[in-house]
A and B are shown apart, each in its own frame.
Chain A
Amino acid sequence: DAGVTQSPTHLIKTRGQQVTLRCSPKSGHDTVSWYQQALGQGPQFIFQYYEEEERQRGNFPDRFSGHQFPNYSSELNVNALLLGDSALYLCASSPGQRGNQYFGPGTRLLVL
């Protein structure tokens, strides 16, 4: 049984560019949450998707957007990248919005 998978593993972009990160949830999970983890800090909640809709959102600007597909996989899009967007982006899936969250290995984004 595959766990949560994310792609790509690493990414380098320049300021002003746009990026798309992808996540496939654990089998049987229908909810995907995205987190940003800056170096040396705990994960910060970005948003959560359930039934293809954004259900909750943390304190992140509109440059951060997402999507959930009918197969429950999800994308995180970040527009107009800033240096401060450099971080590890974690995807977590769960069975329902309040279920235990299982994390993927993350995508490390570096903005130059």
Chain B
Amino acid sequence: GDSVTQMEGPVTLSEEAFLTINCTYTATGYPSLFWYVQYPGEGLQLLLKATKADDKGSNKGFEATYRKETTSFHLEKGSVQVSDSAVYFCALGPENYGQNFVFGPGTRLSVLP
């Protein structure tokens, strides 16, 4: 079945450092790809998405490019802030009716001042 693999955390960075969180997926078709963020004590918030190969999703300085050839959707940000500390989830969206979202295990990011 479809699955998502993310780099293990926690990831600890200093403020203004460059961030990469790796995400690779296995899918039989061509699903939409998502990054969700979960702040402490809260539900998940949609961060960005891409619906087809070579699409780049971006939001709040974060970006990720849908790479079909490497089945990847790595999340990047050029300069992280303390407020970016959260858990980040990569997910596959349903391509067809009868499918559902598949989430990765999450990567915890801690940004130190």
Contact = CB atoms under 8 A, between A and B. Distances in A.
Given A100-B46, A102-B46, A106-B43, A42 B98 contact: no
Interface string B78-113: 000000000001010110011111111110000000
B99 to A, nearest CB: 7
Q: Is the interface of B mostly helix, strand, loop or mixed?
A: loop
A48 interface: yes
A56 B44 contact: no
Contacts of B106: 40-42
Nearest to A101: B101
A102 B47 CA distance: 11
Contact of B44 (A48, A55, A98, A103): A103
A45 B101 contact: yes
Interface residues of A, number: 24
A65 interface: no
B43 A42 contact: no
Q: Is the interface of A mostly helix, strand, loop or mixed?
A: loop
Contacts of A35: 103
A58 B99 CA distance: 10
A48 B100 contact: yes
Contact of A103 (B41, B43, B49, B97): B43
Given A43-B89, A97-B94, 15 more contacts: A33-B100, A40-B105, A42-B4, A42-B89, A42-B103, A44-B103, A45-B101, A55-B97, A90-B44, A92-B44, A97-B97, A98-B93, A98-B94, A103-B45, A105-B42
Interface of B: 4, 36, 41-46, 49, 89, 91, 93-94, 97-106
